[in-house]
A and B are shown apart, each in its own frame.
Chain A
Amino acid sequence: MELVIAMLISSVVISLTYKTYSIYIGLYGQYKKGTSRVEELSLLNKLLTTDIRNCERLEASSDGFVCKSLRNTVEYTLNEEYMIRKCIITDTFHIRILSSTLFWKDKEQTIPQQPASQIIIEGLSDSDTINYNFTKWYGSDILIQINQ
Protein backbone atom coordinates (compact mmCIF):
# COMPACT_ATOMS: atom_id res chain seq x y z
CA MET A 1 0.00 0.00 0.00
CA GLU A 2 2.70 2.34 0.97
CA LEU A 3 4.45 1.50 -2.23
CA VAL A 4 1.39 2.36 -4.30
CA ILE A 5 0.96 5.69 -2.55
CA ALA A 6 4.61 6.41 -2.90
CA MET A 7 4.51 5.59 -6.60
CA LEU A 8 1.46 7.77 -7.15
CA ILE A 9 2.97 10.70 -5.38
CA SER A 10 6.26 10.18 -7.11
CA SER A 11 4.57 10.25 -10.53
CA VAL A 12 2.90 13.52 -9.57
CA VAL A 13 6.20 14.95 -8.48
CA ILE A 14 7.95 13.85 -11.63
CA SER A 15 5.28 15.28 -13.89
CA LEU A 16 5.31 18.51 -11.90
CA THR A 17 9.04 18.68 -12.34
CA TYR A 18 8.73 18.15 -16.05
CA LYS A 19 5.98 20.78 -16.30
CA THR A 20 8.13 23.28 -14.41
CA TYR A 21 10.95 22.61 -16.78
CA SER A 22 8.80 23.03 -19.89
CA ILE A 23 7.20 26.26 -18.59
CA TYR A 24 10.57 27.67 -17.80
CA ILE A 25 12.05 26.79 -21.16
CA GLY A 26 9.04 28.43 -22.82
CA LEU A 27 9.56 31.61 -20.78
CA TYR A 28 13.24 31.52 -21.62
CA GLY A 29 12.51 31.30 -25.33
CA GLN A 30 10.01 34.17 -25.14
CA TYR A 31 12.42 36.33 -23.19
CA LYS A 32 15.24 35.69 -25.63
CA LYS A 33 12.99 36.58 -28.56
CA GLY A 34 11.81 39.79 -26.88
CA THR A 35 15.29 40.96 -25.96
CA SER A 36 16.64 40.21 -29.43
CA ARG A 37 13.90 42.40 -30.87
CA VAL A 38 14.68 45.34 -28.58
CA GLU A 39 18.41 44.92 -29.20
CA GLU A 40 17.92 44.92 -32.95
CA LEU A 41 15.78 48.07 -32.86
CA SER A 42 18.16 49.79 -30.49
CA LEU A 43 21.18 48.87 -32.64
CA LEU A 44 19.38 50.17 -35.72
CA ASN A 45 18.78 53.46 -33.90
CA LYS A 46 22.46 53.75 -33.00
CA LEU A 47 23.65 52.93 -36.51
CA LEU A 48 21.26 55.40 -38.13
CA THR A 49 22.36 58.11 -35.67
CA THR A 50 26.05 57.45 -36.37
CA ASP A 51 25.76 57.10 -40.14
CA ILE A 52 23.65 60.21 -40.60
CA ARG A 53 25.85 62.28 -38.30
CA ASN A 54 29.15 61.18 -39.84
CA CYS A 55 28.22 61.36 -43.49
CA GLU A 56 28.93 64.36 -45.66
CA ARG A 57 25.70 64.10 -47.61
CA LEU A 58 22.44 62.30 -47.11
CA GLU A 59 20.86 61.38 -50.45
CA ALA A 60 17.67 59.74 -51.58
CA SER A 61 17.89 56.53 -53.60
CA SER A 62 15.36 54.50 -55.52
CA ASP A 63 14.77 52.05 -52.67
CA GLY A 64 15.91 53.91 -49.57
CA PHE A 65 18.68 56.37 -48.91
CA VAL A 66 22.45 56.69 -48.94
CA CYS A 67 24.86 58.26 -46.43
CA LYS A 68 27.82 59.44 -48.48
CA SER A 69 31.20 60.55 -47.25
CA LEU A 70 34.70 60.60 -48.73
CA ARG A 71 35.87 57.61 -46.75
CA ASN A 72 32.87 55.31 -47.27
CA THR A 73 29.25 55.08 -48.30
CA VAL A 74 26.48 53.44 -46.33
CA GLU A 75 23.39 52.36 -48.24
CA TYR A 76 20.08 51.65 -46.61
CA THR A 77 17.55 49.62 -48.56
CA LEU A 78 14.01 49.73 -47.23
CA ASN A 79 11.58 46.94 -47.90
CA GLU A 80 8.16 45.96 -46.64
CA GLU A 81 9.67 43.01 -44.78
CA TYR A 82 13.09 44.20 -43.66
CA MET A 83 15.75 46.89 -43.82
CA ILE A 84 19.26 46.28 -45.16
CA ARG A 85 22.33 48.28 -44.26
CA LYS A 86 25.23 47.90 -46.68
CA CYS A 87 28.60 49.17 -45.63
CA ILE A 88 31.67 46.95 -45.52
CA ILE A 89 29.39 44.14 -44.37
CA THR A 90 25.68 43.78 -44.95
CA ASP A 91 23.26 43.77 -42.03
CA THR A 92 19.58 42.92 -42.17
CA PHE A 93 17.13 44.35 -39.66
CA HIS A 94 13.83 42.52 -39.33
CA ILE A 95 11.59 45.51 -39.16
CA ARG A 96 8.73 45.98 -41.55
CA ILE A 97 8.85 49.43 -43.09
CA LEU A 98 5.43 51.06 -43.24
CA SER A 99 6.66 54.33 -44.70
CA SER A 100 9.85 56.30 -45.18
CA THR A 101 10.05 59.93 -46.23
CA LEU A 102 13.03 62.14 -46.96
CA PHE A 103 12.83 65.93 -46.90
CA TRP A 104 14.95 68.71 -48.28
CA LYS A 105 14.09 72.16 -46.87
CA ASP A 106 10.71 70.88 -45.62
CA LYS A 107 9.77 69.56 -49.07
CA GLU A 108 9.61 65.87 -49.77
CA GLN A 109 12.64 64.53 -51.63
CA THR A 110 11.93 61.61 -53.93
CA ILE A 111 14.49 62.05 -56.68
CA PRO A 112 17.42 59.63 -56.41
CA GLN A 113 20.87 61.12 -55.77
CA GLN A 114 19.34 64.36 -54.61
CA PRO A 115 20.23 65.63 -51.14
CA ALA A 116 18.02 65.33 -48.08
CA SER A 117 18.21 67.00 -44.69
CA GLN A 118 15.51 65.10 -42.77
CA ILE A 119 14.26 61.57 -42.71
CA ILE A 120 11.25 59.88 -41.10
CA ILE A 121 10.97 56.09 -41.03
CA GLU A 122 7.89 54.35 -39.66
CA GLY A 123 8.48 50.69 -38.94
CA LEU A 124 6.54 47.77 -37.53
CA SER A 125 8.18 45.18 -35.31
CA ASP A 126 5.66 42.43 -34.49
CA SER A 127 2.69 44.63 -33.61
CA ASP A 128 4.62 47.65 -32.34
CA THR A 129 5.01 50.78 -34.44
CA ILE A 130 8.38 52.49 -34.05
CA ASN A 131 9.24 55.90 -35.54
CA TYR A 132 12.76 56.95 -36.43
CA ASN A 133 13.29 60.69 -37.02
CA PHE A 134 16.62 62.23 -37.95
CA THR A 135 17.96 65.57 -39.11
CA LYS A 136 21.26 65.96 -40.94
CA TRP A 137 23.12 69.09 -39.78
CA TYR A 138 25.01 70.39 -42.81
CA GLY A 139 27.85 72.91 -42.75
CA SER A 140 27.58 75.87 -45.11
CA ASP A 141 30.26 74.37 -47.41
CA ILE A 142 28.00 71.48 -48.40
CA LEU A 143 24.92 73.72 -48.55
CA ILE A 144 26.73 76.05 -50.93
CA GLN A 145 27.80 73.08 -53.07
CA ILE A 146 24.26 71.74 -53.22
CA ASN A 147 22.84 75.18 -53.92
CA GLN A 148 25.09 75.74 -56.95
Chain B
Amino acid sequence: MNQPTMQIQEISAHPGPVPGEGTQRAVEVCKYIDVTTCIGCKACEVACVEWNDLTFRETSFDNTYQTMPSTEWNYWNLIKFVEHERDGNLMWLMRKDQCMHCADPGCLRACPADGAIIKYQNGIVDFQQDNCIGCGYCISGCPFDIPKFNPKTKKVFKCTLCSDRVGQGLEPACIKACPTGCLQFGTKEEMVQIAHSRAYQLKHQSGLANAGVYDPPSIGGTHVIYVLHDITNPELYSGLPANPVIPPSYTVWKWLAKPTGLVMAALGVLAVFFHRLTVGPKLPEGEEKRE
Protein backbone atom coordinates (compact mmCIF):
# COMPACT_ATOMS: atom_id res chain seq x y z
CA MET B 1 0.00 0.00 0.00
CA ASN B 2 1.23 3.44 -0.78
CA GLN B 3 2.41 5.07 2.40
CA PRO B 4 1.37 8.70 2.32
CA THR B 5 4.00 9.52 4.92
CA MET B 6 6.81 8.61 2.58
CA GLN B 7 7.67 10.46 -0.60
CA ILE B 8 7.95 8.48 -3.78
CA GLN B 9 11.12 8.71 -5.78
CA GLU B 10 10.49 6.34 -8.65
CA ILE B 11 7.39 4.78 -10.18
CA SER B 12 7.38 1.83 -12.49
CA ALA B 13 6.36 2.45 -16.12
CA HIS B 14 5.55 6.01 -15.36
CA PRO B 15 6.03 8.54 -18.14
CA GLY B 16 6.84 11.98 -16.96
CA PRO B 17 7.95 13.26 -13.61
CA VAL B 18 7.20 11.57 -10.31
CA PRO B 19 4.89 13.72 -8.27
CA GLY B 20 6.52 15.00 -5.16
CA GLU B 21 9.96 13.77 -6.07
CA GLY B 22 12.62 15.79 -4.35
CA THR B 23 10.18 17.90 -2.43
CA GLN B 24 10.96 16.37 0.91
CA ARG B 25 14.13 15.69 2.81
CA ALA B 26 14.58 11.97 3.12
CA VAL B 27 17.32 9.83 4.48
CA GLU B 28 17.92 6.43 3.03
CA VAL B 29 17.05 3.63 5.36
CA CYS B 30 18.82 0.32 5.56
CA LYS B 31 18.48 -3.10 7.10
CA TYR B 32 21.70 -4.51 8.50
CA ILE B 33 22.10 -8.28 8.62
CA ASP B 34 25.11 -9.71 10.36
CA VAL B 35 25.17 -13.24 9.01
CA THR B 36 27.97 -14.11 11.43
CA THR B 37 25.74 -13.64 14.45
CA CYS B 38 22.50 -14.93 12.95
CA ILE B 39 21.37 -18.02 14.80
CA GLY B 40 18.70 -19.07 12.35
CA CYS B 41 16.01 -18.91 14.98
CA LYS B 42 13.41 -17.80 12.41
CA ALA B 43 11.92 -15.18 14.70
CA CYS B 44 12.12 -12.84 11.72
CA GLU B 45 10.19 -15.32 9.60
CA VAL B 46 7.46 -15.56 12.18
CA ALA B 47 7.35 -11.82 12.75
CA CYS B 48 7.00 -11.27 9.02
CA VAL B 49 4.14 -13.72 8.70
CA GLU B 50 2.45 -12.35 11.79
CA TRP B 51 2.81 -8.66 11.08
CA ASN B 52 1.64 -9.03 7.52
CA ASP B 53 -1.05 -11.54 8.44
CA LEU B 54 0.19 -13.87 5.75
CA THR B 55 -1.52 -17.18 5.23
CA PHE B 56 0.20 -20.39 6.23
CA ARG B 57 1.78 -22.61 3.65
CA GLU B 58 1.88 -26.33 3.65
CA THR B 59 5.51 -27.29 4.10
CA SER B 60 7.19 -30.65 4.11
CA PHE B 61 10.43 -32.15 5.32
CA ASP B 62 13.26 -31.44 2.93
CA ASN B 63 16.40 -32.64 4.71
CA THR B 64 17.13 -29.17 6.00
CA TYR B 65 16.27 -26.78 8.79
CA GLN B 66 15.19 -24.28 6.14
CA THR B 67 11.46 -23.66 6.29
CA MET B 68 10.90 -23.90 2.53
CA PRO B 69 13.04 -23.86 -0.60
CA SER B 70 12.58 -20.19 -1.39
CA THR B 71 10.59 -17.14 -0.42
CA GLU B 72 6.99 -17.27 -1.55
CA TRP B 73 4.20 -14.85 -2.29
CA ASN B 74 2.97 -15.41 1.24
CA TYR B 75 6.39 -15.95 2.81
CA TRP B 76 8.59 -12.94 2.27
CA ASN B 77 11.36 -13.61 4.69
CA LEU B 78 13.29 -16.87 4.71
CA ILE B 79 16.50 -17.89 6.40
CA LYS B 80 18.52 -20.00 4.03
CA PHE B 81 20.64 -22.68 5.67
CA VAL B 82 23.82 -23.93 4.09
CA GLU B 83 26.23 -26.50 5.47
CA HIS B 84 29.63 -25.62 4.17
CA GLU B 85 32.87 -27.41 4.87
CA ARG B 86 36.22 -25.73 4.39
CA ASP B 87 39.56 -27.22 5.43
CA GLY B 88 37.71 -29.74 7.57
CA ASN B 89 35.94 -26.91 9.35
CA LEU B 90 32.21 -26.98 9.16
CA MET B 91 30.30 -23.76 8.80
CA TRP B 92 26.56 -23.59 9.06
CA LEU B 93 25.64 -20.46 7.21
CA MET B 94 22.29 -18.89 7.84
CA ARG B 95 21.35 -16.02 5.62
CA LYS B 96 18.09 -14.20 5.95
CA ASP B 97 16.77 -13.88 2.44
CA GLN B 98 14.29 -11.18 1.53
CA CYS B 99 13.96 -8.22 -0.81
CA MET B 100 17.21 -6.31 -0.94
CA HIS B 101 15.52 -3.01 -1.79
CA CYS B 102 18.07 -2.20 -4.47
CA ALA B 103 18.99 1.38 -5.17
CA ASP B 104 18.40 0.49 -8.79
CA PRO B 105 15.58 -2.02 -8.57
CA GLY B 106 15.41 -4.50 -11.43
CA CYS B 107 11.80 -5.24 -10.65
CA LEU B 108 10.84 -1.64 -11.02
CA ARG B 109 12.73 -1.35 -14.26
CA ALA B 110 11.09 -4.42 -15.65
CA CYS B 111 7.59 -3.54 -14.57
CA PRO B 112 5.35 -2.39 -17.43
CA ALA B 113 2.45 -1.28 -15.25
CA ASP B 114 2.33 2.32 -14.28
CA GLY B 115 2.53 2.60 -10.52
CA ALA B 116 2.72 -1.11 -9.74
CA ILE B 117 6.15 -0.77 -8.19
CA ILE B 118 7.31 2.33 -6.43
CA LYS B 119 10.50 3.28 -4.77
CA TYR B 120 10.36 5.71 -1.92
CA GLN B 121 12.96 8.33 -1.36
CA ASN B 122 14.13 6.41 1.68
CA GLY B 123 15.01 3.50 -0.57
CA ILE B 124 12.13 1.16 0.12
CA VAL B 125 10.88 -0.62 -2.98
CA ASP B 126 7.24 -1.44 -2.59
CA PHE B 127 4.76 -3.29 -4.76
CA GLN B 128 1.34 -1.77 -5.25
CA GLN B 129 -0.83 -4.77 -5.90
CA ASP B 130 -3.75 -2.56 -6.97
CA ASN B 131 -1.74 -1.54 -9.99
CA CYS B 132 -0.01 -4.83 -10.59
CA ILE B 133 -1.11 -6.48 -13.82
CA GLY B 134 0.42 -9.82 -12.96
CA CYS B 135 2.75 -9.95 -15.95
CA GLY B 136 5.59 -11.20 -13.76
CA TYR B 137 8.31 -9.22 -15.51
CA CYS B 138 9.55 -8.05 -12.13
CA ILE B 139 10.32 -11.67 -11.28
CA SER B 140 12.76 -11.90 -14.15
CA GLY B 141 14.06 -8.42 -13.54
CA CYS B 142 15.16 -9.26 -10.01
CA PRO B 143 18.74 -10.47 -9.58
CA PHE B 144 17.84 -12.02 -6.22
CA ASP B 145 14.78 -14.07 -7.18
CA ILE B 146 12.57 -12.29 -4.71
CA PRO B 147 9.19 -11.27 -6.19
CA LYS B 148 6.78 -14.18 -6.13
CA PHE B 149 3.59 -14.70 -8.09
CA ASN B 150 0.33 -15.65 -6.49
CA PRO B 151 -1.34 -17.73 -9.20
CA LYS B 152 -4.74 -17.22 -7.68
CA THR B 153 -4.82 -13.45 -7.53
CA LYS B 154 -2.32 -12.98 -10.38
CA LYS B 155 -0.40 -10.50 -8.31
CA VAL B 156 3.21 -10.43 -7.27
CA PHE B 157 4.28 -10.02 -3.66
CA LYS B 158 7.47 -9.50 -1.75
CA CYS B 159 8.93 -7.97 1.38
CA THR B 160 7.80 -4.38 1.80
CA LEU B 161 10.55 -3.57 4.31
CA CYS B 162 7.44 -3.01 6.42
CA SER B 163 6.79 0.26 4.64
CA ASP B 164 3.64 0.53 6.74
CA ARG B 165 5.71 0.42 9.91
CA VAL B 166 8.60 2.50 8.64
CA GLY B 167 6.14 5.15 7.46
CA GLN B 168 5.01 5.44 11.04
CA GLY B 169 8.51 5.64 12.41
CA LEU B 170 8.81 2.01 13.46
CA GLU B 171 11.44 -0.52 12.51
CA PRO B 172 10.47 -3.45 10.27
CA ALA B 173 8.86 -6.39 12.08
CA CYS B 174 11.80 -8.72 11.46
CA ILE B 175 14.17 -6.26 13.11
CA LYS B 176 11.86 -5.92 16.06
CA ALA B 177 11.77 -9.69 16.53
CA CYS B 178 15.47 -10.45 16.13
CA PRO B 179 16.78 -11.71 19.46
CA THR B 180 20.51 -11.47 18.87
CA GLY B 181 20.67 -8.06 17.27
CA CYS B 182 22.11 -9.50 14.08
CA LEU B 183 19.36 -7.45 12.44
CA GLN B 184 19.43 -3.70 12.82
CA PHE B 185 17.65 -0.88 11.11
CA GLY B 186 18.65 2.72 10.62
CA THR B 187 19.99 5.09 8.05
CA LYS B 188 22.01 3.63 5.27
CA GLU B 189 25.01 5.67 6.31
CA GLU B 190 24.84 4.43 9.85
CA MET B 191 24.28 0.79 8.91
CA VAL B 192 27.14 0.80 6.43
CA GLN B 193 29.38 2.16 9.14
CA ILE B 194 28.30 -0.50 11.64
CA ALA B 195 28.73 -3.16 8.99
CA HIS B 196 32.24 -2.11 8.17
CA SER B 197 33.31 -1.96 11.78
CA ARG B 198 31.85 -5.42 12.33
CA ALA B 199 33.71 -6.71 9.28
CA TYR B 200 36.86 -5.12 10.64
CA GLN B 201 36.30 -6.86 13.94
CA LEU B 202 35.80 -10.20 12.21
CA LYS B 203 38.99 -9.73 10.25
CA HIS B 204 41.13 -8.74 13.16
CA GLN B 205 39.56 -10.56 16.09
CA SER B 206 37.97 -13.68 14.66
CA GLY B 207 40.58 -14.49 12.05
CA LEU B 208 38.19 -14.16 9.15
CA ALA B 209 40.46 -12.47 6.68
CA ASN B 210 37.81 -12.37 3.98
CA ALA B 211 35.05 -10.88 6.08
CA GLY B 212 33.27 -8.04 4.39
CA VAL B 213 30.13 -6.12 3.66
CA TYR B 214 27.73 -7.05 0.90
CA ASP B 215 26.31 -3.89 -0.62
CA PRO B 216 26.71 -4.63 -4.34
CA PRO B 217 27.58 -1.53 -6.37
CA SER B 218 26.43 -3.20 -9.57
CA ILE B 219 22.87 -2.26 -8.70
CA GLY B 220 23.75 0.95 -6.95
CA GLY B 221 23.94 -0.69 -3.57
CA THR B 222 21.07 -2.15 -1.61
CA HIS B 223 19.00 -1.06 1.32
CA VAL B 224 19.60 -4.41 2.92
CA ILE B 225 23.25 -5.12 3.59
CA TYR B 226 25.00 -8.23 4.83
CA VAL B 227 28.10 -8.78 6.86
CA LEU B 228 29.57 -12.02 5.53
CA HIS B 229 32.37 -14.24 6.81
CA ASP B 230 33.63 -14.41 3.27
CA ILE B 231 32.78 -11.53 0.97
CA THR B 232 34.86 -13.04 -1.82
CA ASN B 233 32.37 -15.84 -2.21
CA PRO B 234 28.83 -14.64 -1.60
CA GLU B 235 27.46 -17.47 -3.75
CA LEU B 236 28.23 -19.69 -0.78
CA TYR B 237 25.36 -18.14 1.09
CA SER B 238 22.68 -19.95 -0.83
CA GLY B 239 23.44 -18.25 -4.10
CA LEU B 240 23.85 -14.62 -3.19
CA PRO B 241 25.11 -13.20 -6.52
CA ALA B 242 28.60 -11.75 -6.40
CA ASN B 243 27.74 -9.26 -9.05
CA PRO B 244 23.99 -8.91 -9.29
CA VAL B 245 22.79 -7.31 -12.49
CA ILE B 246 19.45 -6.44 -13.94
CA PRO B 247 18.98 -8.29 -17.25
CA PRO B 248 20.08 -5.90 -20.02
CA SER B 249 16.75 -6.46 -21.70
CA TYR B 250 15.26 -4.37 -18.94
CA THR B 251 17.79 -1.62 -19.11
CA VAL B 252 19.18 -1.08 -22.60
CA TRP B 253 16.19 -2.47 -24.39
CA LYS B 254 13.45 -0.93 -22.37
CA TRP B 255 14.75 2.56 -22.06
CA LEU B 256 16.49 2.87 -25.41
CA ALA B 257 15.16 0.49 -27.99
CA LYS B 258 11.54 0.72 -27.00
CA PRO B 259 11.12 4.43 -27.44
CA THR B 260 13.15 4.17 -30.59
CA GLY B 261 10.76 1.56 -31.89
CA LEU B 262 7.82 3.75 -31.11
CA VAL B 263 9.36 6.72 -32.83
CA MET B 264 10.01 4.56 -35.85
CA ALA B 265 6.40 3.43 -35.88
CA ALA B 266 5.20 7.01 -35.67
CA LEU B 267 7.54 7.93 -38.48
CA GLY B 268 6.12 5.05 -40.48
CA VAL B 269 2.62 6.39 -40.12
CA LEU B 270 3.84 9.81 -41.07
CA ALA B 271 5.62 8.36 -44.07
CA VAL B 272 2.56 6.69 -45.52
CA PHE B 273 0.57 9.81 -44.84
CA PHE B 274 3.17 11.82 -46.70
CA HIS B 275 3.20 9.24 -49.47
CA ARG B 276 -0.54 9.60 -49.89
CA LEU B 277 -0.27 13.36 -50.10
CA THR B 278 2.64 13.42 -52.50
CA VAL B 279 2.61 10.27 -54.55
CA GLY B 280 -1.08 9.62 -54.21
CA PRO B 281 -3.08 6.47 -54.74
CA LYS B 282 -2.66 3.99 -57.48
CA LEU B 283 -5.96 4.02 -59.26
CA PRO B 284 -7.25 1.07 -61.30
CA GLU B 285 -6.88 1.86 -64.92
CA GLY B 286 -9.83 1.30 -67.22
CA GLU B 287 -9.13 -0.09 -70.68
CA GLU B 288 -10.67 3.01 -72.08
CA LYS B 289 -8.17 5.12 -70.27
CA ARG B 290 -5.18 3.30 -71.64
CA GLU B 291 -2.63 5.31 -73.45
> Do A and B assemble together?
no
Residues of A within 8 A of B (CB): none
Residues of B within 8 A of A (CB): none
